[in-house]
Amino acid sequence: MTKERLFNYLVLFAALCSVIFLLGIIISIFVQGYPIFKEVGVLKFLFGKAWYPTQDPPEFGILSLIIGSLIVTIGALIIAIPLGIGSAIYLSEIAKSNTREILKPFIELLAGIPSVIYGLFGIVFIAPLTMRLFHLSTGLNAFTAAIILGVMVMPIISSLTEDAISSVPKDLREASYALGANKWETISKVVLPAAKSGVIASIILGLGRAIGETMVVLMVAGGAAIIPKSIFQPVRPMTSAIAAEMGESITGSQHFHALFGIAIALFILTLLFNLITESVRRKIKRYS
Amino acid sequence: MTRKFKQGFWLIMMRLSILVSVLFLLVFLFLIFSKGSSVLSLSFLLEAPKAGMTKGGIFPAIIGTLYLTGLTILFSFPIGVLAAIYLTEYAREGILVNTIRTAINTLAGVPSIVFGLFGLAVFVNMLHFGVSVLSGALTLAILVLPTIINASEEAIKSVPNSFREAAYALGATKRQSIMKVVIPAALPNILTSAIISIGRAAGETAPILFTAATFYTRKFPTSIFDEVMALPYHIYALMTEGTSPQTQMPIAYGSAVVLLLLVLSIDLVAIIIRYRMRRAKTW
């Protein structure tokens, strides 16, 4: 019987590891980031316009980095939402099962490609294209980053939306056909509204993924810590500031703490998106 | 007429959206492979970099990536499967389980660069593991843990209850029925999950940026406290650092093809296993 007990404790401990790790992450970034909030002030840190971490005296305002993240993320979603939802509708409502079996792995592969290779692809192929197409001085800007990020986020939105659509009961569709609706009317007026919360959850999850993605924006977004006047200007999203500057900052310096401060802001943002997705998903479960 | 037209228009748009995505993937793969495959050769795979990264191969980066991902799975697989066993077989709905589930979902959404900072603060600095294979693998292990737990949970849940009841009827204890009956039945699906997370760990760059990777090292890692070269970081560094972009670019393309082949073949193995299992499944 003691063996049984021991095993019980062992699996419980393994499950608790996730809680321990999450707490570890929260504590470590807050401990390392706290000094910058104390020295600069939370509001001045979040809404300060100047990010000159290596100047004397340095300035630590991350507004331009936040705006950089938001622009790239919104741009990515504008691409990923129609592509993702469209593909999901096609796969679950329109395609025959053979076609679906062939096409689905393609979308999964899209999700499996390492982000650094997307970054390389962006630098080598997409950036020169946007530069020539829009007559810009550099192709490494928010627009190019948004395109690549959009393609990366699309599979996430697609697969979750597909789950939501396929969980809509068949009776609803049949009732709609019985009333004389055609396929598109059934999809747009019955199936999509019924799957609405799942679709929204998928978009929010994509949003969280896009704002947290590092390598693509680090390589492709251009890296200028200024508030951009248009989407064709280079930006420096939060993740890319952390990745680019951590190597140069001295451990324990103000700059070092400021980069952890950015991580705190990033963590809270993604946590927020996650909690929303969670609650929506739970709601779906209760209904189905 | 307008109803029919509307339907025709939107159905075409739906088709178009998946077409665009698939086309992007094909163009992407074609361009990367056509640029990189000319660089590939046996010596490219089996030689160390030479002449300040402008010549030679990527052997140390390949070894480093294999070393890192191997260690990552070694850490995360047992914890992930055991946690999944708890969640499916032992847990009763309540605050504890809700807390654990929320933690897993939150962990899954944490940006990879934040994992990197955590690894830097805790493994590299606090525990003095330094920039090393160990620090990198521990960081990656926590990153892939939610994937392994979720997939293992699905796999264990799909084992029918009659299996457990049959084991109990033969006098097995709960632990015996789990370890001798449920887990073996769920193993193929659990392995699929592990394989997918291997692919993910192999391709991640941000978490190893400050915890494990180095642009150039002459020696191979002899202990888990050595820093290593890794394929994804190597690609990033070749594209953005160094002194001669012209000669570095082809090496970056070649490395990208190798990493892509590595990750895609890992994914393919997972897809094939899943496909076969679905066919072979008799319950």
- The per-residue pLDDT for A105 is 83
CATH number at residue B67: 1.10.3720.10
A205-238 pLDDT, tens per residue?
Answer: 899 999 999 999 999 998 888 888 888 989 999 9
Cβ A142 vs Cβ A71: under 8 Å: yes
Cα-based angle A108, A210, A236 (whole degrees, multiple of 5): 135
**CA A277 to each of CA A23, A157, B155: distance values in angstroms, whole numbers, following the listed order:** 20, 12, 23
Q: Say if residue B126's pLDDT is above 60.
A: yes
Q: How many CB atoms lie within 10 A of CB B279?
A: 7
To which CATH superfamily is domain A64-238 assigned? MetI-like (1.10.3720.10)
* Element at A60 (helix H, strand E): strand A59-60
Which residue from B242, B274, B258 is spatially nearest to B55, judged by alpha carbons? B242
Q: Would you state the pLDDT for residue B283?
A: 61
**DSSP-assigned beta bridge partners for residue B228:** B213
Q: What is the mean pLDDT of chain A?
A: 90
**Minimal-distance CA residue of chain B relative to A119:** B236
Within chain A, residue ranges assigned H as helices are 2-40, 42-47, 63-89, 97-112, 115-121, 127-133, 142-166, 170-178, 183-186, 192-194, 196-212, 215-220, 238-245, 254-287
Q: Which domain holds residue B209?
A: 62-280
- A26, closest residue in chain B (CA to CA): B118
Predicted local confidence at residue B72, as pLDDT: 93
Contact A213 B111 (CB under 8 A): yes
- Nearest CB to A24; choose among B79, B122, B252: B122
A254-287 helix and B95-109 helix, angle to the nearest 10 degrees: 120
Residue B167 counted as domain residue: yes
Query: With 70 as the cut, is the pLDDT of residue B54 above it?
Result: no
Q: Which pLDDT score, from 0 to 100, does residue B273 have?
A: 80
**Measured between CB atoms, which of B7, B32, B263 is closest to A121?**
B32
Domain count, chain B: 1
Record the pTM. Answer: 0.90
Question: Residue A212 and residue B256: Cβ atoms within 8 Å?
Answer: no
Which pLDDT does position B281 carry in this prediction? 65
Residue B228 lies in a domain: yes
B198 within domain boundaries: yes
Query: Out of B7, B116, B205, whose CB is closest to A184?
Result: B7
**Is A4 touching B (CB cutoff 8 A)?**
yes
Least confident of A167-171, B78-82, B234-238, B239-243: B239-243
